[in-house]
Amino acid sequence: MSEHILAHLSRADAVLAGLIRAVGTQRREARAGDCHPFETLAQAIAHQQLNGTAANSILKRLVDSCGQGAFPTPQMILAAPVERLRAAGFSFAKIAALKDLAQKTLAAVVPDAATLQQWSDEEIIARLTQVRGIGRWTVEMLLMFQLGRPDVLPVDDFGVRAGFRAAYGLRRMPRPKALAAWGERWKPYRSTAAWYLWRALELERAGTLPQPAERIRLPRVKKLRRSARRKTVASLARRAARRKLRRAVASSARPRRSDGRTRSRRHPGPRSRAPASKK
């Protein structure tokens, strides 16, 4: 890692500076840059909701059964029967995601790495999340470890949030929006900051995590509009229920005919008055 990057992060954040000193200067893990995004995203689909050992076993069976010893191409994935992919260990949902990824790769929705390098982070996220089963977090991992983007902060990542809680001595996990607001000070090297937050969990397990240099208070962020929308919907539902109840009570109070039907109450017209007697 560049000494310039570490110096910038240390000046911007005293707690992160202590974590950097404890971890030391190490080379960040990186994947092969010439690997096609199709392969990276297919591997990410295999790893979803599984530990690394189980996912790697599934990928090995996929290579042996569909790729003839090499990672299968999109054409091979589309030609593979569902039964073969199921035998490799993929669920039906993951098979659908793999097939969709293969189709979108052939349609150039998922381009090669050289093309992606010309796009911004948000453009890449918007394009690749069109694939079934691929979310923002998966694309952020591709940005960090394959494309080498320096300013990615995966605020929804459990390890990053847990590492922040441990390093900063917090009682609770930070909310993603609060973590994003705090991470503004790490720009334009938030990928490196995230890497050190992952290392914080390793130090915590080893009992060598340093005490935070200072106590912090995360910035307050506005609550999601979705919660306000839920309250509005619930309020409208209660009002509708009350109106329905009032109509039901009013309907039960109406006089009924001999056949059981409710008599319609029409507004009575003006009554005719008898002429006054002349005296």
The residues annotated with a catalytic role in the active site are 157
Please give the Cα distance from 131 to 110 (Å, whole number): 8
Q: Beta partners for 256? A: 262
Name the nearest CA neighbour of 43 among 19, 67, 21: 67
Residue 50: half-sphere exposure toward Cβ, Cα within 13 Å:
18
Query: Are residues 161 and 170 in contact, defined by beta-carbon separation less than 8 angstroms?
Result: no
Report the half-sphere exposure of 212 (CA within 13 A, side-chain side).
Answer: 16
Tally of CA atoms within 13 A in the half-sphere of 267 that contains its CB: 1
Question: Nearest to residue 58, comparing CAs of 104, 101, 66?
Answer: 66
33 vs 145: CA distance, rounded Å: 9
Helices (H), the chain: 3-12, 14-23, 37-47, 52-66, 74-79, 82-88, 92-106, 113-116, 121-128, 136-145, 158-167, 176-182, 190-206, 225-252
| 8 Å CB contact between 159 and 201 | yes
Sign (positive/negative) of CA torsion 166, 171, 177, 183? negative
